[in-house]
Amino acid sequence: MELYSGHINRLVEELAGLPGIGEKTAGRLAFHIIGMPQSRVERLAKALTDAREHVCYCQSCQTFTDDVLCPICANGNRDHGTIMVVETARDLAAYERTGRYEGVYHVLHGAISPMLGIGPGDIRLKELMERLEKEEIREVILATGSSLEGETTAMYVSKLVKPTGIRCTRIASGVPVGGDLEYIDEVTLLRALDGRTEI
């Protein structure tokens, strides 16, 4: 039995199709949007359509931007000799929030996953290798996730980068801050032990 009329149902269905939005959250959002002033709804709709129409990939790092280069790549004060390779634009944003990394990025838009049918040609590896040929790069930092797919991707990228003579490093992984050792898996504990530093 349908609870709402066609327009409400359609709005709930569209919102529920977004990642991380379940049926209940979609319903709450739908009713919030319906209750908003008309001008605000129009601004929201315009922001959505404008973003979809104008946002493209940065010609250098492949993150999302509405210009030829994203603000990070266009910034002359960044260290353009160091590239951090990340899986998603959200990963890039997470590192930027730390305020500590001063290099530039390369967004792969995914990770190699044979189980899901995602191979090296399905992510932005070709663009990375083109950058390494054209630009003077000193170091490539592999900052893919610690999942099986992230590790597979890091290993694959490192095998591509090493023959170029460019230094290739992997971010450290280990015990999270506030983590209780008895609940942490053995691989993570070994990583933490291997990646220990002097204090």
Neighbours of 194 (CB within 10 A): 10
Number of domains forming the structure of the chain? 2
| Same-domain check for residues 102 and 132 | yes
Residue 176 lies in a domain: yes
pLDDT in tens, 120-135: 999 999 999 999 999 9
| Same-domain check for residues 144 and 99 | yes
pLDDT in tens, 49-78: 999 999 999 999 999 999 999 999 999 999
Residue 44 lies in a domain: yes
**pLDDT at residue 187, rounded to an integer:** 73
CATH number at residue 186: 3.40.1360.10
pLDDT in tens, 134-192: 999 999 999 998 888 998 999 999 999 999 999 999 988 776 767 666 777 777 777 77
| Same-domain check for residues 80 and 176 | yes
| Same-domain check for residues 108 and 38 | no
Residue 161 lies in a domain: yes
Domain that holds residue 114: 72-193
| Model pTM score | 0.81
Compute the distance between CA of residue 40 and CA of residue 114 in angstroms, rounded to an integer.
44
